[in-house]
Structure 1
Amino acid sequence: MLDTVTSLKGVGPKMAENLEKLNISSIQDLLFHLPSQYQDRTRVQPIATLQGGHNVLIEGVVEHTEVVFRGRRMMLSRISDGTGKLTLRFFYFGAAQQKSLSEGTKIRCFGEIRQSMYQTEMIHPEYTLLDNDFPAPLASTLTAIYPATKGLQQRTIRRLMGEALKKLSGIEDLLPGHVRSKHNMPALSDALKDIHQPDAQSNQAVLDGEHPGIKRLAFEEMLAHQLSLRQFRLQVHALPGIAMKPQGIPLKALQASLPFALTKAQQRVIKEIKHDLAQPSPMSRLVQGDVGSGKTLVAAAAALLAIEAGYQVALMAPTEILAEQHLKSFEAWLEPLGFKVGSLSGKQKAKERRDQSERAALGMSHLVVGTHALFQNHVSFAKLGLIIIDEQHRFGVEQRLALRDKGNEQIGYPHQLVMTATPIPRTLAMTAYADMDYSIIDELPPGRTPIKTVVIANSRRDEIISRIQSVCESGAQVYWVCTLIEESEALQCENAEETESMLKEQLPSVRVGLVHGRMSAQEKQEIMQQFKSAEISLLVATTVIEVGVDVPNASLMIIENAERLGLAQLHQLRGRVGRGSAASSCVLMYQPPLSKTARKRLDALRNSSDGFEIAQIDLEIRGPGEVFGTRQTGELQFRIADLVRDQAMLPEIQKTADLLLAEYPETISVLIKRWIRQSEVFIKV
């Protein structure tokens, strides 16, 4: 067992307090505070070979140093190494520093290269003055850069890490020996030493993420995450649940009232949910499906099964607009069958909220639709049996638990059904949702026509406006999505209000409406209702219409500055059209020039309508944290693992998790605590 960090030389109360900000209280915590990146100071690069944007080490001789005034006072020092010249630019300097950089001085600098048409430069580089008689040795290893905090400089963390590495023999290797042998893994102590102080021969493997030490630590970190979610799952399944045995009579009545038949995929997922509801432990199931696959109807089927069994249902949505839409759908489906639908949201006046809360508490509302207001302390249910959460990644674990605690422990914990319209690549699902069973609605309702997607530069805006005119004259409707509300020259995004004015001016015969995030919920709802009822033909909107808005008559979507949005968000927005039988189009407008990444994104959307394929590309481009957006659970904040790079290890990680659960249960909590900060969030129930 390793000592507290205060046993290291130079760590007093103040430094210990600063280390605590980084969740470092023991030497083990310090050793697992892994580098976020590396700098290569092992070789000097010729100035003539430098490229902008790279951090490099160079050496040269000062040719000239001067203080100039160009908007502000600065010191410029020009150096040469025989292959080319480079300017060092300093905004903060003193007379002694200016004197030290006199003509003929030999200097070694490290910093980021900036290039323009006129010169190559470094701004405020780190530098060392060199003595011709005593050459300064180069670094023998890559220089680790660590996550830091105020009061802790990189060199301090590196010094402390050097001290901690001397105590590596005290660290416990939690992976069974035969697992390490099977995968040719180095010992934990060797892996940690190689990560913090990689030798010169392994530099490239470390930078590429292919070093055996990185693979070893990534395996263990992903294993810890897998085990934390498995523990969560086991503890949830150990809770007393509510075994429901409905006959499905109201569900059959709902199906008979619909003007269409359920798809085979919807029927399959409903069957899986019905099986879960019949178990004596709480269901925890994720239902994912592409835009327009019919998840809401599956949720309604689950709700009817629970209501028939004598229980209440809570449905939580991330936005007022989506909650309002769900409310209308569920009222239309459930109230003709004799079931009462209530609502709770932040926009309600105090009296209405009190009335709705009382109806839920007395069991008068069979299903209650709401936003975050559902899990506030004053809200209670008479007999809560099922919780449905829409767009899971918008809510954190704590919020899910708070809503589940609205159930009555005496009758059992409620079942949970989580829905998402954001398709999740299998890699992510295996890792992020190991605590849940998951179903995929992999079939779209018949009659949906594919959406034609085109990519057009902003300069062709007039053509698009002409197209809007003809679409609206045909009786169809149009979305125009702006990515920002406020003017921003840097992002070149149009102001939504100015866009509305411009379109009204250029399309005087078209009724134009505007909806954005700064409007009140009531204003947004009124505009959306007017658009749904075709009183408005062209809706200018920000991305508040990303999820769930359903207007079958809308057949054209224009997204401005599409290069600024992620693939998943673009796919969600595109899914607002093509919901009726008419041929639909999505126009992705961009501001040239496009970066390689932006071009890859827009090409992917143009070439595919498969949400899962798009999600996989999005994962590769942006990484898991960005794909999940505002998830609050934290389980994807890996320190060294990379889900894209390391996904091939997942099957073995799952097998190893099974092995530890069966044969080495005593190591599990230690492993989770080592890797997951605030791990109690994931293993408490």
Structure 2
Amino acid sequence: MTGLATTPVTALKGVGAALAEKLAKVGLETLQDVLFHLPLRYQDRTRITPIGALRPGQDAVVEGIVAGADVVMGRRRSLLVRLQDGSGTLSLRFFHFSQAQKDGMKRGTSLRCYGEVRPGATGLEIYHPEYRAQSGSEQAPVEQTLTPIYPATEGLTQQRLRQLSEQALARLGPNSLPDWLPTEIARDYHLGPLDQAIRYLHRPPPDANLDELAEGQHWAQHRLAFEELLTHQLSIQRLREQVRQQASPALPPAKRLPEQFLANLGFTPTGAQRRVGAEISYDLAQHEPMLRLVQGDVGAGKTVVAAMAALQAIEAGYQVALMAPTEILAEQHFLNFSRWLEPLGIPVAWLAGKLKGKARAAALEQIVSGAPMVVGTHALFQAEVRFARLALAIIDEQHRFGVQQRLALRQKGIDGRLCPHQLIMTATPIPRTLAMSAYADLDTSILDELPPGRTPVNTLVIAESRRTEVIERVRAGCREGRQAYWVCTLIEESEELTCQAAETTFEDLSAALGELRVGLVHGRMKAAEKAAVMDQFKAGELQLLVATTVIEVGVDVPNASLMVIENPERLGLAQLHQLRGRVGRGSTASHCVLLYHAPLSQLGRERLAIMRETNDGFVIAEKDLELRGPGELLGTRQTGLLQFKVADLMRDAELLPQVRDAAQALLEHWPDHVAPLVSRWLRHGQHYGQV
């Protein structure tokens, strides 16, 4: 038997060049790919239901005799077929039909059809059922297994995908699809045979428990989820090993610059900042690259820790690059680092996408000639940016950067040989389950103390119907000399509409609060316009800032002590927590008003209640993960990291410790099994280990 991993889909009957091209678009190139393209859900077509026993909302197979077929003119022209089986009558309705179809529905024709039963004008109806005419007295057999519904795409019908999986299953056996999990691992973790698990999931028997399958609790799903999570662990660990094998400049602990910096800072670092600083300092002194993730809740003082790390590299005579995902955040860092480092005689260079012409050329020249501290956006990754002696890269808000981009830093090291140390910071606390899987290649430090002088934010949940009261509250706060934010959130995922909503809100609030100076910031404004408005707000020239979620990260205005978030039910908890972190940065009591639109769903109520009850980012992140799943939390689109086929990080969280142990065992005792596993599960994902 030839291996299914190397047999192309063109070996299947009916697959020519055109279909092969469509299949390749969804990553189906070999028979192994077809077998791992698993159903999303199932339909039960194994039994025929009498018409008299049908219930609305049910998916059912029905058999009967055509009693009449007429074209009827309602709001839309449709073909209405009456079907009878002695227990009752059912209508089949077709909005798209041909003359030939109508002619095939003669009185007395025996039909078997399948579809969703719904209440209609004439009693129970099925819209556009799948159907076939039964000929002669021979009854066609019903399906012997549950019918799989596959993830489909344009030009690939369910029928076609079923035919392909049927042919692939005919060739499936323990020899044609090797099981790369050694028997010892399968035994220790109670995992069933791979070929049986795949066969079961493509064609479950009629007595299969649909609820168990829907919840992902079946042993066959468990078996594949384990293998998939194991493969992700292996690929990340392989990546980590590759990075660890590279050399980095060893940076001795610094004395002079950190002492001067702390003396100018005006406050003493917290115990957590000192502890994390010591962990980083130790890593930087080694010859292998540091890969450390610093998680700190909003306002925990990550930037001070980053500055201490930067000074260790600068004192040793090297360069440091700090990257942030947005120009607003990058600019904020540039201002902070300039304020801190220039008094120590350390110039800070700046590079962002918006720099053009001579200014850009000058920045590139500064970097290549060795500017000790460089701050910028993703623009720092571009090929033309050359560093003289880059020893440390600090990346802010890691979940906005893909794994690929982190690895691209390697090329920016000294002579392209010495790999820069990497310090990654995030204010989005990452639940342990996610960190174990998504960030297995990083060591983690947690800043779990807020600096003195920070006040917890008091959160209120108020209905939109009390908007006028909220506006009055903003007026009173601003009259007392404070500043406020008013945040307009996403309207059905449309940035354009959200910006329009922000403009309308800006006009309404400017009119209602005539005596206040109101500013506006949204994603469609030019970066320079945004920066100018933010500067005015920081300088206290504006009292109220109307904004979209562009102000989510890094904006620091200690005098702002009130925030109103409209339609908070549209945002994830982690994002609400980020936004709320823009207030409470000074010593004044701060408030965050969640102005929701009634009626709230049960889930909406639960989520806003969590925001009211806690200011702890980790508690919020765990809840967010429970309620929304990992993809949104990490911005899956960018990471490409968590698009699992079978596994689900929330559902399978308890497997992760076992998976990590199994990965270690595999790397130690069966290293030749790693490549085939990675190729099976991740060939179309990111090739983590080969960048």
TM norm. shorter chain > 0.5: yes
Counterparts in 2 of 1:489 and 1:379: CA distance versus 1, 3 Å? closer
Partners of 1:119 and 1:390 in 2: CA distance: 60
Is 1:258 matched with 2:262? no
Moved more, 316-325 or 410-419: 410-419
What per-residue deviation string (whole Å, max 9, x for no partner) do you get for residues 279-324 of structure 1? 1111111111111111111111111111111110111111110011
Cα displacement (A) at 1:74: 3.6
Residue 179 of structure 1, CA deviation? 1.5
Which of residues 634, 651, 660 in structure 2 aligns to 1:645?
651
CA–CA distance in structure 1, aligned partners of residues 494 and 406 of structure 2: 37
Contact 1:500-1:540 within 8 A present in 2 as well:
yes
Shift of the 238–114 alpha-carbon distance from structure 1 to 2, 3 Å rule, reads farther
| Conserved 8 A contact 1:142-1:203 | no
Match of residue 313, structure 2, among 298, 306, 312: 306
Structure 2: any 5+ residue segments left out of the alignment? none
- Quote the Cα distance in structure 1 between the aligned partners of 2:215 and 2:601: 23
- Asked if 2 retains the 8 angstrom alpha-carbon contact of 1:672 and 1:679, the reply is no
Aligned position for 1:267: 274
2:569 counterpart letter in structure 1: E
The amino acid that maps onto 1:23 is G
464-473 or 73-82, which deviates more: 73-82
Which residue of 2 is the match for residue 384 of structure 1? 390
For structure 1, the 5+ residue unaligned runs are none
Q: Superposed, which structure 2 residues align to 1:338-357 within 5 Å?
A: 338-357=345-364
- Tell me how far 1:142 sits from its aligned partner: 2.4
- State how far apart, in whole Å, the 2-side matches of 1:163 and 1:656 are: 33
Report the identity percentage: 55
Alignment of 1:193-592 (within 5 A): 193-204=199-210, 205-363=212-370, 365-409=371-415, 412-484=418-490, 495-592=501-598
* 1:657 equivalenced with 2:667 (yes/no): no
Contact 1:483 1:493 in 2 (8 A): no
Secondary structure of 2:461's aligned partner: strand
Q: C-alpha separation between the residues in 2 aligned to 1:117 and 1:325? A: 63
**Alignment pair present for 1:22 and 2:26:** yes
Letter of the aligned partner of 2:673 in structure 1? T
The SS at the match of 2:395 is strand
Note the alpha carbon deviations across 1:482-517, whole angstroms, 9 max, x for none. Answer: 124899899999711111111111111111110000
Residue in 1 that maps onto 2:41? 37
Q: Distance in 1 between matches of 2:515 and 2:437?
A: 52
Matched, 1:93 2:97: yes
| In structure 2, C-alpha distance between the alignment counterparts of 1:486 and 1:619, rounded to whole Å | 21
Are residues 336 and 459 of structure 1, via their aligned partners in 2, closer, same or farther at CA, if it must alter by over 3 Å?
Answer: same
Give the drift of 1:125. 3.4
User: What do the CA deviations read for 1:444-487 (whole angstroms, capped 9, x no partner)?
Assistant: 12232221222222222111111111111111111111124899
Say if 2:490 and 2:570, in contact at 8 Å, map to a contact too. no
Q: Which amino acid in 1 is paired with 2:283?
A: D
Distance 2:262 2:125 in 1: 70
| Residues 489 and 417 of structure 1: CA distance in aligned 2, closer, same or farther (over 3 Å) | closer
Structure 1 counterpart of 2:15, which letter? V
Task: Report the secondary structure of 1:531's partner residue.
Answer: helix
- Of 614, 635, 641, which residue of structure 2 is paired with 1:629? 635
CA contact (8 A) 2:295 2:428 kept: yes
Query: Which structure 2 residues correspond to residues 21-170 of structure 1 after superposition, within 5 A?
Result: 21-42=25-46, 50=55, 66-69=70-73, 72-76=76-80, 88-100=92-104, 109-111=113-115, 122-129=126-133, 136-169=140-173, 170=176
- CA separation in 2, counterparts of 1:402 and 1:410? 11
Which whole-Å CA distance do the structure 2 matches of 1:458 and 1:85 have between them? 49
Matched residue type, 1:476: R
The structural deviation recorded for 1:89 is 4.5
- Across the aligned residues of Structure 1 and Structure 2, the Cα RMSD in angstroms comes to 2.9
Residues in 2 aligned to 1:490 and 1:181: alpha-carbon distance in whole angstroms:
55
Specify the SS of the correspondent of 1:279: coil
Shift of 1:219: 0.2
**CA deviation string 1:241-285 (max 9, x = no partner):** 111103332112212222222111111111111111111111111
Q: Please report how far the alpha carbon of residue 56 of structure 1 lies from its aligned counterpart in structure 2 after TM superposition.
A: 5.5
Secondary structure in 1 matching 2:227: helix
Equivalent pairs, count:
683
Identify if the C-alpha distance between structure 1 residues 661 and 489 changes in structure 2 by more than 3 Å, giving closer, same or farther.
Answer: closer
1:11 aligns with 2:48: no
1:597–1:50 CA distance, 2 compared to 1 (3 A): farther
Q: Return 204-213 or 472-481, whichever deviates more.
A: 204-213
Q: Following TM superposition, by how much is the alpha carbon of 1:132 offset from its aligned partner in structure 2, in angstroms?
A: 11
TM-score, normalised on structure 1?
0.93
Q: Give the aligned residue type for 2:553.
A: V
1:448 touches 1:579 (CA, 8 Å); kept in 2?
yes
Q: Residues 551-602 of structure 1: CA distance to partner in whole angstroms, max 9, x if unpaired?
A: 1111111111111111211111111111111111211122222233323322
Is the contact between residue 462 and residue 596 of structure 2 (CA under 8 Å) also seen in structure 1?
yes
Q: Take 1:623 and 1:492, find their aligned partners in 2: how far apart are those partners?
A: 25
Q: Which moved more, 1:197-206 or 1:522-531?
A: 197-206
Q: 1:171 to 1:253 in 2, by over 3 A?
A: same
SS in structure 2 at match of 1:453 = strand
Deviation at 1:633, TM superposition (A): 3.3
Q: 1:314, 1:384 within 8 Å by CA — same for their partners in 2?
A: yes
Structure 1 Cα separation of the partners of residues 497 and 357 of structure 2: 41
Return the alpha-carbon distance in structure 2 between the equivalents of residues 585 and 115 of structure 1: 50
